[in-house]
Amino acid sequence: MSQLVAPHGGKGLVCALLHGSELIAEQEKAAGLKKVQVSARAKGDLIMMGIGGFSPLDGFMTKADWKGVCENFQMADGTFWPVPITLDISQEDADSIAIGEEIALEADGVIMATMKVSEKYEMTEADKKWECEKVFMGEGEESVDGNFWKIAPEDHPGVIMVMNQKDVNIAGPVKVLSQGSYPDEYPGVYLTPAETRAMFEERGWSKVAALQLRNPMHRSHEFLAKIAIEVCDGCLIHSLIGNLKPGDIPAETRVKAIEILIDNYFVKDNVINGGYPLDMRYAGPREGLLHATFRQNYGITDMLIGRDHAGVGDFYGLFEAQEIFDRIPKTGEAGKDLLCQPMKIDWTFYCHKCDGMASLRTCNHTKEDRVILSGTKLRKALSEGADIVDHFGRDEVLDHLKKYYAGLTEKVEVKMQGAASGESM
């Protein structure tokens, strides 16, 4: 009997990925189906459905699911889910597809999946704006006092993505045919939920934390992981290896930086370096909930949630991603409710007077005594060739990152928001 937390949804791992003769037969059938091109975001969603990362989802959401998720954090059947998982297509494609028809979903010239279309529903500009307000609008200064629609259409990558979606969503179950290039590009790092669960079982872990990363690990990330290791059986350092926004550091560079840090500063038996194939949605608090939801499928009980988790700009309050966990609905049914819990950590930093890493809960010194750490601040300094202050990151990691930036021929300006600069401390 497994001691690990059950997958979300009460149905075990729901994996849409085909193998063996089933895969070959479906690939042959897919070659003759109408082909619909899908986005990079949808490609990542399909892979997660394939490997069970999005259990209990077996396809893209219906209009009732979409509405319930946006409005109440619940799909039509009452199962908790925080962010819509939808598939948009053009009106022209929608007009040519019949309800009940099977189609092939293609990305980058590869047929990723087949789908039996159960529903088509229009997404007007008003629908898209409503989704954005529900999913992306937060409590930060760029969201309140009428600022959201002044700033978000140009500066919020999640809002831009949704507003640029095509005019029709289609729903229906999928059969996934490919995991893309991830298994070959990131061997031993790209891990499925079944693989992480097997690793945790082998190590005797039952209470397992996850650290979400989209930036290279600096001292604050390292501190968070080590706090988790002290109170849990182990920690999965789980970095996004899908697409990011311009100016973010690519996955292969970040993965190597994590390896360097683990090799030099961790007890390897207590930590695992893993990656998952989604694109960032930059949904702040809602994305924090999504991170906990799919981490439960990976066998995680405790999701590390720190300052400005999954945020962008100043759209969210500093600890809004922690507070939202206290407001989500609960049905009382384990299969429908979120079981992975937040591990809420205060603002962390290096303090010269404390002579070590600390947080606002443990350090009584002033802002001037502290080295404020953030991924954005690190990327900005590296991209501009500026000096990195002492105790910001480990020397071995910074040397690796400096080599990456030295090789860039084109650099994207990194915008510094208040949450990253330390102005709000």
Among the listed ranges 16-30, 32-46, 144-158, 411-425, which one has the minimum average pLDDT value?
A: 411-425
For 268, other C-beta atoms within 10 Å of its C-beta total: 9
Each residue's pLDDT tens digit, 281-310: 999 999 999 999 999 999 999 999 998 899
Which listed residue (41, 197, 215, 295) is catalytic?
215
Percentage of the chain lying above the pLDDT 90 cut: 83
Handedness of CA 48, 52, 55, 61 (dihedral sign): positive
Helix (H) or strand (E) holding 234: strand 234-240
Question: Which CATH fold topology does 20-180 show?
Answer: Sulfate adenylyltransferase (3.10.400)
Domain covering 183-276+346-421 in this structure, CATH number: 3.40.50.620
Residue 387 has what pLDDT? 83
| Mean pLDDT on 77-99 | 98
Strand order in the sheet with 302-305: 271-276, 234-240, 208-213, 302-305, 341-344
How far apart are the C-alpha atoms of 319 and 122, rounded to whole Å?
35
Distances (CA, A) of 135 to 189, 288, 424: 30, 12, 24
Active-site residue, 370 included: no
Annotated catalytic residue, options 214, 219, 295, 394: 214
Q: Kindly state the tokens that stand for 43.
A: 């490609």
| Residue 327 annotated among the catalytic residues of the structure | no
CA angle 295, 12, 100 (to 5 degrees): 100
Domain boundaries, the chain: 20-180, 183-276+346-421
Mean pLDDT of all residues in 195-224? 94
